[in-house]
Amino acid sequence: LVMSFLVTMLFNSKLSDDPIYRKRLEEGLVELRGEKQIEIKSGAKTSVWLFLLGVVGVVIYAIINSPSMGLVEKPLMNTTNAILIIMLSVATLTTVICKVDTDNILNSSTFKAGMSACICILGVAWL
């Protein structure tokens, strides 16, 4: 990938100027795809702001409870549990506020990949 980027930048070649590409385009072997317009759902910005708010909350909690700051001598819970609680709360708020269609969550590729990774990690840790 890096090499193709460097060759493209050094030789200043464009795909539309390539004779082989133009020949294949004329023969119908290659189709022009055009540009796709992606529709951004209404709750997308809200979900990003909620996520950032959760991250800021985690950072603030970690700073307050850090031994180097010394603001709290005996924290109520460790930082790991606080991260879990804060981020799961953010996920719940995102689902409710942004009106996420929960039927589609189980079929999304991100959820399947994440759950597969969790199962693999837990399986290795269990051994």
Residues 97-116 have pLDDT tens digits of 998 888 888 888 998 999 89
pLDDT value, residue 59 = 94
Average pLDDT over residues 27-55: 87
Instruction: State CA 35 to chain mean position distance.
Output: 23
In residues, how long is the chain? 127
Question: Which residue in the block uniquely carries the two structure tokens 């606080």?
Answer: 82
pLDDT value, residue 50 = 96
User: 124 vs 37, 84, 111, 114, CA distance in Å?
Assistant: 42, 21, 20, 15
What whole-number distance in Å separates Cα of residue 58 and Cα of residue 86?
A: 7
Question: Which residue in the block uniquely carries the two structure tokens 């840790």?
Answer: 125
Mean pLDDT for all residues in the chain: 87
User: 58 vs 37, 72, 80, 91, CA distance in Å?
Assistant: 35, 15, 10, 14
pTM of the model: 0.61
Taking only Cα atoms into account, the Rg of the chain, rounded to an integer number of angstroms, comes to 24
pLDDT of residue 92 exceeding 80, the answer is yes
